[in-house]
Structures are given as C-alpha cells and as structure tokens.
C-alpha cells in the first residue's frame, strides 16, 4: 500500500517574501553586495597574470563573490527559520 505525501501549502505571505520562489530578499541583497565585494577584490588584490583562475578575471571574481555571499545568506536564513520553529 502506497501512502501519498501531501505537499505543504505555502501561504501567500511567506511566498511574497521569496524572490522567484527561491531566495529571500536579504539573500539577494547579500548576493549583490558579494558581487560588489568580488569586484573590489579583483581591483585591489587581483592577479595580473593568467595563472590565477578566479581573481585574474573580473567576471569570475564577481560571480565567485556573489555565489559565496548568497550561500552564506541562505545558510543563515535556514538556521534562523529552524530556530524559530
């Protein structure tokens, strides 16, 4: 006998707080700030030779900074949500 798992209903109030249904507004803001931090990192500490894969290219530095900040913000959000419950 198979049991069906009922999907959880997401209230419209909590759905409005997510951007594209995935990330909170704070996480998106953290991603934008991380992208800016990645660009500043490229300008100040970036390599001038091609041996440094991530920091010699401004696009990859921005992408790397945004990704790290987004992951960090999502982890903090998940911990905060689990602590609140």
Domain limits of the chain? 20-84
Using alpha carbons, list the distances in angstroms from residue 80 to 12, 23, 73, 74. Answer: 20, 14, 10, 10
**pLDDT reported for residue 15:** 46
Residue bearing tokens 């992408």: 63
In this predicted model, which residue has the larger pLDDT, 36 or 54? 36
In this predicted model, which residue has the larger pLDDT, 47 or 85? 47
In this predicted model, which residue has the larger pLDDT, 51 or 30? 30
pLDDT exceeds 70 at position 76: yes
């Amino acid at each position: 006998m198979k049991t069906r798992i009922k999907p959880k209903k997401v209230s419209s109030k909590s759905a409005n707080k997510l951007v594209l249904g995935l990330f909170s507004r704070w996480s998106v803001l953290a991603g934008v700030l991380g992208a800016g931090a990645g660009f500043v990192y490229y300008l100040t500490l970036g390599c001038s030779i091609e041996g440094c894969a991530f920091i010699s290219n401004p696009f990859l530095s921005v992408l790397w900074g945004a990704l790290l900040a987004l992951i960090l913000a999502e982890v903090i959000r998940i911990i905060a949500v689990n602590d609140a419950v």
